[in-house]
Amino acid sequence: MKVGAGNIVDAEGFNYLAEAGADFIKVGIGGGSICITREQKGIGRGQATALIEVAKARDEYFQRTGVYIPICSDGGIVQDYHMSLALAMGADFLMMGRYFARFDESPTKKLLIGGNYVKEYWGEGSNRARNWQRYDMGGKTGMKFEEGVDSYVPYAGKLKDNLEITLGKIKSTMCSCGSTTIAKFKETAKITLVSSTSIIEGGAHDVILKETKTNN
């Protein structure tokens, strides 16, 4: 049986759990779409910064000990390209709760709200999840405050149809970076900071778009 541990956001946390014997380690505090830990408790860190630092610590630990401990990027993934970014930054695998919650196969209700179909989605730290053992403070009063929300995500149809598109985007990104494997992708991809203007420039701009079906 494999035992994972986390969540952590820096090298110190990784090394502590690695020395404790974790088989894999989860990276991310407060970055999930339904997580409000940072708002409620003031702890956490930007997901990209955390992931890059922990990936570096993982590689150094491997060089030092010969033991490779995979890391999971947990939080911050909304668009498909965020998955490629997380892998390029060093993640071995990803948590994708919001992604899968949108599909027919997820075990939540499909509802029509405001003329749009949505699926229910709630956080582990919400009262609805009733995850007392992880989030309460002991005693008999239960959860004293929430670290997650009860929400909806846009309905996206069948998993199979969407997954093929997502995988196609990731593979295309990897090829654009000169790699055909995830291991090679981590080596060939270059991570750089971009400005808000660059983000706007990277999408359609200064044109009048025809109405088309969006891929949420």
Catalytic residue positions? 35, 134
DSSP character string of the chain: ---EEEEE-SHHHHHHHHHHT-SEEEE-SS-STTB-HHHHH-----HHHHHHHHHHHHHHHHHHHS----EEEES---SHHHHHHHHHTT-SEEE-HHHHHTBTTSSS-EEEETTEEEEEEE-TTSGGGT-HHHH--SSSS--SS-SB-EEEEE--B-HHHHHHHHHHHHHHHHHHTT-SSHHHHHHH-------HHHHHHTS--SS-PPP-----
Alpha carbon of 12 to those of 15, 30, 86, 193: distances in Å? 5, 18, 20, 24
